[in-house]
Chains A and B, each alone.
Chain A
Amino acid sequence: MKARRKEEGKWAWRLTGFVTLCVYVFMFAPIVATVILSFNASMFGGFPMTGFSLQWYAKLMGNEAVLAAFRTSLWIALVTAAVTTAIGVVTAFALVRFEFPGKQALSTLVILPALVPETILGVGLLVLIKAIDQPRTMLLLVLGHILLAVPYVVLIAQARMVGIRRVYEEAALSLGASRFSSFREITLPLLIPAVVGGALLAFTISFDNTSASLFWRPAGVETMPTQILSMLKISISPEINALGTVMILVTVAIPLIGGLILQSLTKLKRRGEPKEEAR
């Protein structure tokens, strides 16, 4: 009886492992297929592979519309990341350290942009703009992206902030540091992992944003995702696989490198401290 039960547990565990494997394959198979196809020599965007070629990358480099969209997205994402991180970290600081009326309401309100569908946020802002008779501008698009990224930055910074004991700041204050310099010298350095993590996430949220940007972009402006969308409406050329591969490289490599730098920084600091238990 006992042996049979053990056997059952083993099978359940194997099944779990198998489903996990399938889910991981499911998650990455299409991406791998896209990367492989971007090197296809064939004229059509699909299998079978007829040979290795970089022609689609060459074609991409000559595509002015794509390059312009890439630059636009890059700028928007950089500004979004910088501004969102600044205002998000300060908000998280206030939400964790201070007691003030309306704090609970604000902490709920601040995560709403992540929960309300983008289509609704998109239409809402457009209707407001229309009601007060203003044009769609680049500023509007950037501020919209900041709104979309704020919940994530605040949540990440809040999670880190909770772990920083306030005695450090208070010690600096009691030694005569100003409010600002105690934040800059004590709190901010301790928050660095959250600052970097939040900035990277804000960057990718802005760089990837599609639905809301379709509503908010000024007439004639294409961001990278809206450009891809309009290219897909015409036909699926292998060029788009090459574009996808470039985008994957950019958006995956940047956070990975950032993360590695961060990890080696914390490792240097942690040396000598007792190791965390493995499980």
Chain B
Amino acid sequence: MNNRWTLYDPRLAWMLVAPVLLLLIFFLVLPIAVMAAYTFFTFVTAGVETSALTTANWQEFFTDSYYSGFLLKTLRVGAITALLCGVLGYFPAYFIWATSFRHKWLLLLLLIVPFWISFTIRTFSWINILGEQGVINVALLKMGIINAPLPMLYNEGAVILGLLHFLLPYMILNVYVSLEGIDRTLISAARSMGCTSAQAFREVTLPLSLPGLAAGLLLCFVLAAGSYVTPQLLGSGRDALFGNLIYDTIMSELNWPMGATLSIVLFLVLGFFAAIYTRYMGMSQIVKGLAG
């Protein structure tokens, strides 16, 4: 009998991963493949299309500046959000890492708590801060600083604020994980060689934490650019992002081939950025950050 199973037999491994593998194939790989094929289907009327192959969807995408405008706006909002997250998220990550505060776990726990609170609730709760009857407007009116409520909601700023609120914990945890990986004796060494604390930070800590920062930037950018709920709740019609465009194309206009085309475009564009990132950084940092 030469088909006896060895201790770590690959066949057993395949059996163990089979459920997840099947799920990934049928719910991730196959849908994206079918979607790619759908981009060449012909749109007849709302909800109806034929499998007659055409490049009309792609032509429409590349010629109509409506679509490229949406894409550029989405990438711009994603980039602004990611950069703000990077700047604002580095400080808390560094603080938690360097503090001698005994209950550091509490600071970390507070970063994880938002992940448990429904994203929809966290987003709409901004209406209670920025709205006409929100904290800021009511306080300013009471103090007599303004006469009429400031319009702070339903603009691009509010959308970026909401995205920032949603993405900051991702950034902070990513940076924190890479700071945690730094050998602290390196910093002591730098200090003992005469570095000031600022120099030690610039020469040792900052460069060594860059992988975490880069992973955080990519994650925030991708998640912001793919967002749907935040622009829906905190933005006006003009602040809709690519995700909203896709949703409307499919769910309202029922133009499935165009919706598939737009989805594939977003997938390729975001995949392009992710590929550049993994080319230089590898996958491992993202994995560490997600498992945080």
Residues of A within 8 A of B (CB): 5, 8-9, 12, 15-17, 19-20, 23-24, 26-31, 33-34, 37, 44-48, 87-88, 90-91, 93-95, 97-101, 103, 106, 108-121, 123-128, 130-131, 143-144, 146-147, 150-152, 154-156, 158-159, 170, 173, 179, 201, 204, 207-208, 210-211, 214-215, 224-225, 228-229, 232, 236, 240-241, 244, 247-248, 251-252, 255, 278-279
Contacts and interface: CB of A to CB of B under 8 A. Distances in A.
Contacts of A154: 20
B16 interface: yes
Contact of B131 (A20, A46, A100): A46
Among A115, A229, A247, max chain B CB count under 10 A is at A115
B228 A118 contact: yes
B113 interface: yes
Contacts of B91: 15-16, 19-20, 23
21 contacts: A16-B91, A16-B94, A16-B95, A20-B92, A23-B91, A29-B129, A29-B135, A30-B125, A31-B122, A46-B128, A87-B23, A88-B20, A95-B17, A98-B16, A112-B28, A121-B28, A127-B34, A151-B290, A159-B291, A208-B120, A214-B247
Interface stretch (B5-13, B59-67, B205-213): B5-13
A29 to B, nearest CB: 6
B116 interface: yes
B12 A115 contact: no
B31 A30 contact: no
A78 B91 CA distance: 37
Contact of A247 (B19, B31, B32, B118): B118
B119 interface: yes
Contacts of B13: 94, 97-100, 103
Contact of A244 (B116, B121, B256): B121
Contacts of A5: 196, 198
B124 A117 contact: no
Interface residues of B, number: 98
- Which 9 pairs, one residue from A and one from B, show the smallest C-beta to C-beta distance? A117-B226, A46-B133, A124-B31, A98-B13, A30-B125, A100-B10, A19-B91, A94-B16, A155-B291
Contacts of B165: 26-27, 30
Among B94, B120, B169, B243, the most chain A Cβ lie within 10 Å of the Cβ of B120
Interface centre among B19, B28, B131, B223 (most CB of A within 10 A): B28
B70 interface: no
Given A123-B259, A127-B260, A131-B34, A252 B128 contact: no
B266 interface: yes
Given A99-B8, A123-B260, A91 B17 contact: yes
A17 B16 contact: no
Nearest to A119: B243
Interface of B: 7-10, 12-14, 16-17, 19-21, 23-24, 27-32, 34-35, 38, 88-89, 91-92, 94-96, 98, 100, 102, 107, 110-111, 113-122, 124-129, 131-135, 138-139, 142, 164-165, 168-169, 172, 184, 196-198, 219, 222-223, 225-229, 232-233, 242-243, 246-247, 250-251, 256, 259-260, 263, 266-267, 270, 274, 283, 286-287, 290-291
Main secondary structure of the interface of A (DSSP, over half): helix
Nearest to B229: A210
Given A16-B94, A120-B267, A210-B120, A30 B256 contact: no
Given A98-B10, A119-B226, A47 B133 contact: yes
A12 B133 contact: no
Given A47-B138, A159-B291, A207 B118 contact: yes
* Most chain A CB inside 10 Å of its own CB: which residue of B30, B114, B125, B242: B125
B168 A27 contact: yes
B250 to A, nearest CB: 6
A228 B232 CA distance: 13
B117 A31 contact: yes
B286 A147 contact: no
Given A23-B88, A241-B128, A120 B263 contact: yes
A241 B168 CA distance: 23
B116 A23 contact: no
A240 B287 contact: no
Nearest to B233: A232
Contact of B34 (A95, A124, A158, A278): A124
B222 A229 contact: no
A117 B8 contact: no
A95 B111 CA distance: 29
B120 A109 contact: no
B256 A101 contact: no
